[in-house]
Structure 1
């Protein structure tokens, strides 16, 4: 099992690091229908030059089950994870729900965040309530595997890498319905416009140009709130830009964090 004990309980964790890091650590945060494994392309790349970590939220993956949790609870758990691995400051890179959690981390512990990468995400979603209602109802009625099979083609762009579609289905199918419902509430019912406007650290906002779930317009709206932030469009990617176009995503993030170190 890939996990570590923290003050917030057991947290699922994947890590990669060189013997002599040349940059600050980077922590990767997954989406509502995913887990830490979605970040393997980033661990392989960034782990060559810096300590790279990908974590599961409470209830997800290899993390300990929980009765109830919120986006701020997820953020506190990730801060507890940094404590457990003795990291004072890190770049925080989150996708979708991970972006929501990254904003919460920057609010609760700004001194721990060297920069933010908020990918395929938002401050508030105009159809958040509708997405939450539809997705949680479907999860309860048809189960997570059927939901994953129904959702996968909306999540991905027109030409995903070979095998990614099956990986997305298998990962989502393994999430307990109750955990998914908690994550769905944390992301889709979020309204963090005031928090986003208060962010005062370097922020990159990547988004797939084929993202149907959180389209580029939401990234641009977020960028208008976050002073000095930069939107970066990932061509040929849907909602999972980091997994669909890992080379392009890694290049954007590498340039950004190298400048922000």
Structure 2
């Protein structure tokens, strides 16, 4: 793990190095760049693969008053500092929301978008936001993590993954978590997704109770050229729960995009 100084402050980054069009990985609201370890290990052997922390998360410095567009700007600033002009942008949950915001800011820099367990607008977003903020305040971040882990993962998730998720979420600064919760749950990017022209893959765990498959189906319907794949026996963290399936589907998508390009 490392950090890089950017025009918008210090950003936490895992960068495998390598050639080809880079794959950029964006984490969810209760996580950090470490959640992408299975993808960094798999894709970093064949292409440059980069996982980023948002402001206040992981190894990134906080930024007061930031928003989903601020997160997107921070990610672009990090890619500028890494001399990456174009990339495949893969985001999970909040990461998908940020990926859409990144595309809105610089569509020409997006070789493709991979939107995993995400949405354009969550119909229960306000209620989820209110519950999340109240729980983080009343229970603390560790208490929130322990209360939420069961709903985040599919029934077959390992104890090791549950423990890792709890420890990662417990380490998040409450102020950064509040910014991330607002950025994801109060997002309404239904207008933005209509303007997406690059190739798009929508992924979702078929047991996701936080952003259920119906929201991924809605996202695909709003982006008519998008492909949709459900991942069996996965909940909200499909990339970590079923990494072999996730990686295989993602690898096939990237190969198709680059062959057509």
| TM-score of the two chains, using structure 2 as the length reference | 0.97
In 1, Cα distance between the equivalents of 2:44 and 2:97? Answer: 24
SS in 1 for 2:51: strand
Q: Match of 1:225?
A: 222
Residue 238 in 1 paired to residue 216 in 2?
A: no
1:170 aligned to which of 161, 167, 171: 167
Q: Match of 2:17?
A: 17
Q: Match of 1:142?
A: 139
Q: Which runs of 4+ in 1 moved over 6 A?
A: none
- Count of aligned positions: 258
Q: Superposition pairs for residues 66-215 of structure 1, below 5 Å?
A: 66-215=63-212
SS in 2 for 1:256: helix
Q: Could you tell me how far 1:17 is from its partner in structure 2?
A: 3.2
In 1, Cα distance between the equivalents of 2:62 and 2:77? Answer: 16
- Root-mean-square deviation (CA), in Å? 0.9
Q: How far does the alpha carbon of each residue in 1:26-76 deviate from its partner, in whole angstroms, 9 at most, with x for none?
A: 000000000000000000001011000000001101001222210000001
Contact 1:199 1:227 in 2 (8 A): no
In 1, Cα distance between the equivalents of 2:157 and 2:247? Answer: 16
In 2, Cα distance between the equivalents of 1:173 and 1:206? Answer: 27
Q: Could you tell me how far 1:227 is from its partner in structure 2?
A: 2.6
Unaligned runs of 5+ in 2: none
In 2, Cα distance between the equivalents of 1:15 and 1:153? Answer: 31
Unaligned runs of 5+ in 1: none
SS in 2 for 1:143: helix
In 2, Cα distance between the equivalents of 1:86 and 1:161? Answer: 38
SS in 2 for 1:212: coil
Q: Could you tell me how far 1:162 is from its partner in structure 2?
A: 4.5
Residue 52 in 1 paired to residue 52 in 2?
A: no
Q: Match of 1:259?
A: 256
In 2, Cα distance between the equivalents of 1:209 and 1:201? Answer: 25
Residue 216 in 1 paired to residue 218 in 2?
A: no
